[in-house]
């Protein structure tokens, strides 16, 4: 990771503090000047870490975005996008209410969620999917994503860096009960029925747009290790969307049926 100068850290700290304040009040920070945006992933991670530090709330785990090469190519992302699952925004159960506040462009994503049964300690060697599989339990899950900054016209790669800085665009997460046959489950073929406000079920993503969850978690552990962050037993992980993200709004209602994994009934206020 690069060395960030004190002068540059002062600029990045200001943006992180603004994002943290917006997180607290479920509001927006408005436009961000070109010179105040992160220039690369190192600066974006610095902002994300500072935002979490400023908020001072417990992290329960991680979300992972841009989980496939195809998704990264579409969005202009150079790598997966991690973000913290901050305790006040994580819920458990099949019927929940989520407060959106002023979050613009809010979207819901059904995901395969996981809980770690053991630590994944820091190490130099990359983690593998085969190592991850016995370390996790499967849970049906939802992620609510959205941004706390305006979306002016800018290249995809710059928007990607702002998304990383803004806690990976994570707004909220919901987790259901554990599914015991975690390693035998068919992640590549399983369908989820996602219905927004009583409409038609949303098409699922398959093939090169659906990542292998164990590979995704291995990539997360490897990436975090470079930042001297380790995954710990008990932490939760959201492993990437199963459908295209769907827009939601205040007063909206979502039903996500994961079949044998369970079902969610979510209202947004």
95 sits in which H/E element: strand 95-98
Average pLDDT over residues 204-224: 97
pLDDT at 103 over 90: no
Q: Which of residues 59 and 25 earns the better pLDDT score? A: 59
Low-confidence winner among 98-112, 155-169, 218-232 (lowest mean pLDDT) = 98-112
Domain of 145, CATH number, reads 3.90.850.10
pLDDT, residue 200, reads 96
pLDDT, residue 76, reads 92
Asked if residue 135 belongs to a domain, the reply is yes
Average pLDDT over residues 166-185: 96
Low-confidence winner among 15-19, 102-106, 183-187, 206-210 (lowest mean pLDDT) = 102-106
Sheet harboring 95-98: ordered strands across? 95-98, 263-268, 253-257, 193-196
Q: Mean pLDDT score of the chain, rounded to an integer?
A: 95
Average pLDDT over residues 39-61: 97
Are 192 and 257 within 8 A, CB to CB? yes
pLDDT, residue 156, reads 92
pLDDT, residue 150, reads 80
CA dist 154 and 179 (Å) reads: 42
Asked if residue 27 belongs to a domain, the reply is no
Residue 2 buriedness (CB in 10 A; 0-12 / 13-18 / 19+): exposed
pLDDT at 104 over 90: no
Distance, first Cα to last Cα, the chain: 40
3-state secondary structure of 114: strand
pLDDT at 80 over 80: yes
Asked if residue 30 belongs to a domain, the reply is no
pLDDT band at 136 (very low <50, low <70, confident <90, very high): very high
pLDDT, residue 121, reads 95
Q: Which of residues 136 and 104 earns the better pLDDT score? A: 136
pLDDT band at 77 (very low <50, low <70, confident <90, very high): very high
Asked if residue 172 belongs to a domain, the reply is yes
Alpha helices by DSSP H, listed for 194-263, are: 213-226
Asked if residue 119 belongs to a domain, the reply is yes
pLDDT at 152 over 80: no
Instruction: Please give the residue range of the domain that contains residue 194.
Output: 57-268
Q: What's the number of CA atoms in the CB half-sphere (13 Å) around residue 15?
A: 30
pLDDT at 16 over 90: yes
Dihedral of CA atoms 63, 64, 65, 67 in degrees, nearest 10, equals -160
Asked if residue 6 belongs to a domain, the reply is no
pLDDT, residue 105, reads 80
Asked if residue 170 belongs to a domain, the reply is yes
pLDDT, residue 203, reads 96
pLDDT band at 263 (very low <50, low <70, confident <90, very high): very high
pLDDT at 151 over 80: no
CA dist 116 and 135 (Å) reads: 6
When divided into structural domains, the chain yields a total of 1
Asked if residue 32 belongs to a domain, the reply is no
Read off the tokens for 131.
């190592």
pLDDT, residue 30, reads 81
């Amino acid at each position: 990771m690069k060395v960030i100068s004190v002068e540059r850290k002062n600029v990045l700290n200001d943006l992180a503090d603004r994002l943290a304040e917006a997180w607290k009040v479920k509001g927006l920070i408005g436009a961000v000047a070109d010179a105040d945006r992160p220039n690369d992933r190192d600066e974006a991670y610095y902002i994300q870490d500072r935002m979490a530090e400023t908020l001072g709330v417990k992290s329960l785990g991680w979300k992972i975005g841009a989980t496939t090469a195809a998704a990264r190519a579409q969005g202009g992302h150079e790598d997966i996008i991690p973000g913290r699952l901050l305790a006040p925004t994580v819920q458990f159960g099949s019927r929940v209410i989520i407060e959106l506040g002023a979050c613009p462009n809010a979207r819901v994503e059904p995901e395969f969620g996981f809980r770690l049964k053991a630590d994944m300690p820091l190490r130099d060697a990359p983690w593998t999917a085969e190592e991850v599989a016995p370390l996790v339990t499967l849970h049906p899950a939802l992620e609510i994503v959205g941004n706390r900054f305006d979306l002016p016209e800018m290249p995809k790669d710059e928007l990607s860096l702002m998304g990383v800085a803004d806690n990976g665009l994570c707004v909220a997460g919901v987790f259901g009960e554990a599914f015991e046959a975690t390693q035998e489950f068919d992640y590549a073929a399983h369908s989820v029925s996602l219905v927004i406000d009583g409409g038609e079920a949303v098409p699922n993503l398959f093939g090169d747009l659906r990542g292998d969850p164990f590979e995704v978690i291995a990539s997360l552990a490897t990436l975090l290790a470079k930042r001297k962050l380790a995954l710990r037993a008990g932490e939760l992980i959201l492993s990437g969307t199963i459908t295209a993200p769907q827009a939601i709004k205040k007063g909206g209602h979502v039903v996500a049926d994961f079949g044998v994994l369970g079902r969610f009934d979510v209202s947004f206020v």
